[in-house]
Amino acid sequence: MKQFADRRLFLRRCLAWGATGSTAWLLACAGSRKPPVARTATPTADPCSDLTGVDPTDVQKRKSLGYTDKSPQPDSQCDNCKLWVPAKEGKECGGCLLFTGPVNPGGHCTYWAPQV
């Protein structure tokens, strides 16, 4: 009978140690984590110029295609190009089939082609 009592005592101590040890370990890990940084959306003057979240490779591609936010030719703007992707409802900026990210309807690039 003493053998069972010793075994029960041993199991209780193991469970108690495991519970306190794992709790302390979890608390130690949780305490070392930095709190999340609150990100507030800062309004930009032109939402079509905001490239937040656009891959740097795509930003470079925009530059290599000669994209500008304002077209030097009033009759060749992005919104009358055949590569233009119209803006979704409630959005100001459209898109382009050549690159990702927001596109100003009044923008222009070297691949501008008239809509047919």
Is the pTM above the cut of 0.85? no
Q: What is the pLDDT of residues 25-82, one digit of tens each?
A: 555 555 555 555 545 455 557 889 899 999 999 999 999 999 999 999 989 999 999 9
Residue 41 inside a domain? The answer is: no
CB 71 within 8 A of CB 110: no
Q: Are residues 17 and 58 in the same domain?
A: no
Q: 2 pLDDT band (50/70/90 cuts)?
A: low
Q: Are residues 112 and 83 in the same domain?
A: yes
Range of the domain at 16: 1-33
Q: What percent of the chain has pLDDT over 90?
A: 50
Residue 40 inside a domain? The answer is: no
Task: Please count the other Cβ atoms lying within 10 Å of the Cβ belonging to residue 41.
Answer: 7
